[in-house]
Amino acid sequence: MPTLTVIIASTRPGRAGLPIAEWFTERARVHGAFDISVADLAEIDLPLLDEPNHPRLRRYVHQHTEDWSRMVDASDAFVIVTAEYNYGYPAAIKNAIDYLHQEWAYKPVGFVSYGGVAAGTRAVQQLKQVVTTLRMLPVFESVNIPFHSQFIDEEGQVRANEIMDFAAGAMLDELRRTEEALRSLRTATVTG
Ligand SMILES: Cc1cc2nc3c(=O)[nH]c(=O)nc-3n(C[C@H](O)[C@H](O)[C@H](O)COP(=O)(O)O)c2cc1C
């Protein structure tokens, strides 16, 4: 089975991103189309980009970059679980994306976003611009959760409604379809 990596973009203590990612990860396991792996950027704890060479060259000098490269390389598709900070994406996700280049190419990406009335969608729109530069394919289907705290109970567990559940399934279906279609491009060498 292809591997889907769920990336948790927010890193601050007490973040809503963790329970939301836990809910989505379980939903993805039940969906059954992917082996699921989780990349929690708080745990991975990458410093601000400290590689001397352009990531396209893959001449990494730090072990943390090698580890991150291996994880992204081993993934066939991604879901980025993202907060919206000041109408944009959290800095940690941009930093983590910038570390690598070819490892991202020709892989589909979906988004689970959350926030106030806009449900984090402004962060998603910004991220789409970044990921397409790396030849990733953002899928249209997405999970956007407005006023997300209403879905998190006292134990810190997400209680999803039907809309969230349905949206997650639709996004996972589309990720699987596009992952399969992009496979031949992934085997070709990426240049430029
Ligand atoms: C620095 C900062 C900026 C924020 N800016 C926005 C924003 O632009 N839009 C929004 O809907 N919520 C905003 N919020 C509220 C977040 O939606 C809310 O705090 C959410 O829980 C953040 O995700 P996290 O808990 O995973 O960090 C902001 C929160 C922080 C900490």
Nearest to 27 by CA among 160, 174, 176: 160
Q: Please give the Cα distance from 59 to 183 (Å, whole number).
A: 25
Cβ count near 131 (within 10 Å): 20
> Which residue's CA lies nearest to atom 6 of ligand 1?
85
Q: How far is the CA of 15 from the centre of ligand 1 (A)?
A: 9
Quote the distance between the C-alpha of residue 15 and its chain's center: 16
Q: Is 86 in the pocket of ligand 1 (CB under 6 A)?
A: yes
Pairing type for strands 108-115 and 137-138 reads parallel
pLDDT, residue 188, reads: 77
**138 CB less than 6 Å from ligand 1?**
no
How many angstroms separate the alpha carbon of residue 133 from the centre of ligand 1?
A: 25
User: Does the CB atom of residue 91 touch ligand 1 within 6 A?
Assistant: no
Per-residue pLDDT of the chain (192 residues; tens, 9 = 90+): 999 999 999 999 999 999 999 999 999 999 999 999 999 999 999 999 999 999 999 999 999 999 999 999 999 999 999 999 999 999 999 999 999 999 999 999 999 999 999 999 999 999 999 999 999 999 999 999 999 999 999 999 999 999 999 999 999 999 999 999 999 999 875 554
Concatenate the DSSP letters of all residues of 71-111 into one string.
Answer: HHHT-SEEEEEE--BTTB--HHHHHHHHT-SGGGTT-EEEE
Rg of the chain over Cα atoms, rounded to whole angstroms, equals: 16
Q: Does the beta carbon of 126 sit less than 6 angstroms from any atom of ligand 1? A: no
Ligand 1 atom at shortest distance from the alpha carbon of 17? 26
